[in-house]
């Protein structure tokens, strides 16, 4: 593994941790406050590596004083810079990272972990995919209320997790561990089918 820096939105640096693989490249975009080593993205990395993919983890830090509209531009700029440096064969995003996935287009397999469906651009991106995709949404996620769930194209799969919040947590640790196990199983099966 190596750490590299690319220059994204307005030339600002973004740190990437690169784990080379033999079968292509996956880019993992984190949430605003959810780093690539947090459980969902750590498991995503492991599932991708298991399939022989190299993994580029994006380690960004959303500026504290940034507004919502500027945050979307910031994400798009960083996403473009990373994808130009490492053209992706698979995209993975968690929360704000799904906005990065949405901005890069719909022509590679993608995993959308707790997409921020309160953003119209994220909804449009998920609804407009043309390659296989897996969307993982908790029914108690305030950033993805059911009335905003887009109709998914036929090549997209939805894993709906009853009672899970934006972090895919439920009421107790054992229940949350079971939810994570379901997500891992879904990601592994999806990648096996999509690649």
Residue 174 has pLDDT above 90, yes or no: yes
- DSSP single-letter state for residue 24: -
Q: What is the largest CA-CA distance in the chain?
A: 43
Provide the residue range defining the domain that includes 79: 2-194
Element (H, E) at 134: strand 133-138
62-102 tens-digit pLDDT:
888 888 888 999 999 999 999 999 999 999 999 999 999 99
Count of domains observed in the chain: 1
Residue 58 has pLDDT above 90, yes or no: yes
End-to-end CA distance of the chain: 23
Output the pLDDT for position 59.
Answer: 97
d(C-alpha 131, C-alpha 13), whole Å: 30
Q: What are the φ and ψ backbone dihedral angles of 32, each rounded to 5 degrees?
A: -65, -40
Output the pLDDT for position 185.
Answer: 98
CB 104, CB 82: distance < 8 Å: no
CB 167, CB 113: distance < 8 Å: no
- DSSP symbols for 56-77: EEEE----TT--HHHHHHHHHH
CB 75, CB 67: distance < 8 Å: no
Of 77-86, 143-152, 179-188, least confident by mean pLDDT is 143-152
27-50 tens-digit pLDDT:
999 999 999 999 999 999 999 999
Indicate if the alpha-carbon torsion angle 139, 141, 144, 145 is positive or negative.
positive
What's the pTM value of the predicted model, to 2 decimals? 0.96
Taking residues 145-166, what's their average pLDDT?
Answer: 93
Closest by CA position to 111, among listed 6, 18, 195, 173: 195
116-138 tens-digit pLDDT:
999 999 999 999 999 999 999 99
Identify the CATH number of the domain in which residue 102 sits: 3.40.50.1820
């Amino acid at each position: 593994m190596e750490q590299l820096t690319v220059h994204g939105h307005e030339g600002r640096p973004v740190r990437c941790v690169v784990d080379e693989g033999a079968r292509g490249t996956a880019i993992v975009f984190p949430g605003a406050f959810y780093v690539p080593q947090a459980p969902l993205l750590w498991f995503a990395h492991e599932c991708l590596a298991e399939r022989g993919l190299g993994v580029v983890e994006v380690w960004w830090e959303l500026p504290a004083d940034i507004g919502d509209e500027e945050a979307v531009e910031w994400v798009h700029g960083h996403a473009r810079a990373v994808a130009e440096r490492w053209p992706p064969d698979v995209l993975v995003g968690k929360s704000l990272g799904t906005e990065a996935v949405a901005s890069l287009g719909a022509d590679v397999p993608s995993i959308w972990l707790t997409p921020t469906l309160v953003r119209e651009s994220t909804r449009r991106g998920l609804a407009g995919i043309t390659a296989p995709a897996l969307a993982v949404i908790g029914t108690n996620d305030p950033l993805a209320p059911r009335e905003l769930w887009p109709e998914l194209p036929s090549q997209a799969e939805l894993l709906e997790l009853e009672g899970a919040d934006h972090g895919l947590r439920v009421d107790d640790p054992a229940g949350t561990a079971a939810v994570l196990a379901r997500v891992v199983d879904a990601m592994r099966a999806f990648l096996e089918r999509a690649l």
